[in-house]
């Protein structure tokens, strides 16, 4: 009996030591900083570049909806050009992630950041303070010209003093950071200098993958790590941002049986995106995308139609069926 108690005490002791060790590891390591060279990208006061940047921010790259408080997000998404004052809140399992003020205010915005610091957030997911940026902004492969245009536009906004509380990670979030599971990701290869704006598969591929993030939502993925777990654009990712309002993304590959686009003409696609949102709580930034130019939409359609068809049947969620029925 005594012997048994002794063994038990040892086991408990080892577990306590292990837990204490892990907790101290997390507290020592979660705040680790990362480094990468600053991209050689400079903002410009050229009006063509500022206009291109503005188009991307409010349209395909949809920065504007996320970088505003929730009560303004829809207005901005629907085409009202409010400045990007930050304050979007993302309440995830690892903590509350808050989008930053992107107006050129010196104290609370990006006024004090260099062009290289802002560009590095987009290219390498490393914050100006070296922290890994939560993977919500997959712009790593955006062209030099477009990144420079976006920063040029951000700098041209009116500065707005709006302090945003820092992002707060809970213990789970800190453990994920300490273990390096949220790690800054750089570009897959050298990003293009500039991509020609034309109705081509090449431009469509660039928009769908490196600017508008159609790929991020319309593909099967592991939501903990973000890894792709099946063919890209074959749909099936589930969302539930508002309790009870569950969504699933359709298959965008040209599979005649299970892909929704196989029966859409290029004009149907353009009209559908321009028409905007059907479901109130859909996570897709419909407002921003409805402001996309026809050239961009036609290019995306051509790219999607050039993909290998993947058979992946997606059933509407109960919430989506109900909304459709009540129309
Ligand atoms: C899906 C929502 C979302 C979109 C889209 C988005 N952002 Fe962000 N952004 C965030 C969040 C959330 C943070 C804070 C992340 C953190 O604290 O880890 C952030 C942080 C930043 C930062 C601050 C980094 C720092 O050093 O503090 C910059 C700069 C930035 N975003 C620029 C952009 C630009 C430019 C675009 C469009 C090309 C964009 N964002 C699109 C959500 C978004
Ligand atoms: C943040 C996630 C997200 C992003 C980014 C996103 N989508 Fe979606 N998409 C969804 C969800 C969820 C649905 C299903 C609900 C709905 O129709 O709003 C959807 C539905 C669709 C539909 C079907 C609409 C219909 O009437 O049946 C099309 C077409 C579409 N998306 C195309 C795109 C394209 C093209 C892009 C990139 C330009 C894109 N999506 C980016 C989440 C996203």
Domain ranges of the chain: 47-178, 201-325
pLDDT of residue 256: 96
For ligand 2, the distance from its centroid to the CA atom of residue 165, given in whole angstroms, is: 31
Q: Is 41 in the pocket of ligand 1 (CB under 6 A)?
A: no
- The protein residue with its alpha carbon nearest to ligand 1, atom 13, reads 99
Q: Which helix (H) or strand (E) holds 2?
A: helix 2-29
- The protein residue with its alpha carbon nearest to ligand 1, atom 36, reads 63
Q: Kindly report the number of other CB atoms within 10 A of residue 14's CB atom.
A: 10
Contacts 24+ apart (CB under 8 A), 195-200: 195/143, 195/145, 195/146, 197/295, 197/296, 198/295, 198/299, 199/295, 199/298, 199/299, 199/302, 200/299, 200/302
User: pLDDT tens digits, residue range 239-269?
Assistant: 998 889 999 999 999 999 999 999 999 999 9
pTM of the model: 0.95
For ligand 1, the distance from its centroid to the CA atom of residue 69, given in whole angstroms, is: 13
Q: Measured between alpha carbons, how far apart are the two ends of the chain, in Å? A: 72
For ligand 1, the distance from its centroid to the CA atom of residue 107, given in whole angstroms, is: 17
Ligand 1 atom nearest the C-alpha of 150 is: 35
- The protein residue with its alpha carbon nearest to ligand 1, atom 39, reads 63
For ligand 1, the distance from its centroid to the CA atom of residue 183, given in whole angstroms, is: 15
pLDDT of residue 183: 86
Give the chain's residues under pLDDT 50.
Answer: none
């Amino acid at each position: 009996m005594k012997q048994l108690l002794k063994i038990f005490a040892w086991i408990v002791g080892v577990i306590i030591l292990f837990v204490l060790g892990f907790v101290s590891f997390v507290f020592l390591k979660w705040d680790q900083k990362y480094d990468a060279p600053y991209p050689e990208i400079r903002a410009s006061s050229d009006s063509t570049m500022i206009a291109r940047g503005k188009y991307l921010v409010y349209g395909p790259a949809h920065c504007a909806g996320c970088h505003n408080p929730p009560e303004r997000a829809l207005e901005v998404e629907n085409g009202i050009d409010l400045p990007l004052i930050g304050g979007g809140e993302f309440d995830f399992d690892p903590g509350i992630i808050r989008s930053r003020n992107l107006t050129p205010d010196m104290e609370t915005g990006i006024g004090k950041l260099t062009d290289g610091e802002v560009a590095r957030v987009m290219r390498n997911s490393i914050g100006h303070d070296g922290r890994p940026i939560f993977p919500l902004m997959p712009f790593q492969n955006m062209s030099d010209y477009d990144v420079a245009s976006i920063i040029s536009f951000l700098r041209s906004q009116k500065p707005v003093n709006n302090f945003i509380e820092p992002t707060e990670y809970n213990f789970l979030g800190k453990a994920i950071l300490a273990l390096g599971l949220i790690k800054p990701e750089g570009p897959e290869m050298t990003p293009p200098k500039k991509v020609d704006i034309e109705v081509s598969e090449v431009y469509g591929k660039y928009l769908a993958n490196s600017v508008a993030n159609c790929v991020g939502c319309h593909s099967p993925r592991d939501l903990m790590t973000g890894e792709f777990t099946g063919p890209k654009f074959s749909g099936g990712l589930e969302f539930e941002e508002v309790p009870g309002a569950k969504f699933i993304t359709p298959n965008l590959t040209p599979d005649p049986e299970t892909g929704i686009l196989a029966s859409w003409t290029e004009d149907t696609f353009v009209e559908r995106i321009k028409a905007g949102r059907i479901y109130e709580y859909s996570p897709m930034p419909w407002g921003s995308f409805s402001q996309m130019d026809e050239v961009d939409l036609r290019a995306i359609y051509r790219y999607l139609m050039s993909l290998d068809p993947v058979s992946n049947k997606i059933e509407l969620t109960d919430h989506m069926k109900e909304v459709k029925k009540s129309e």
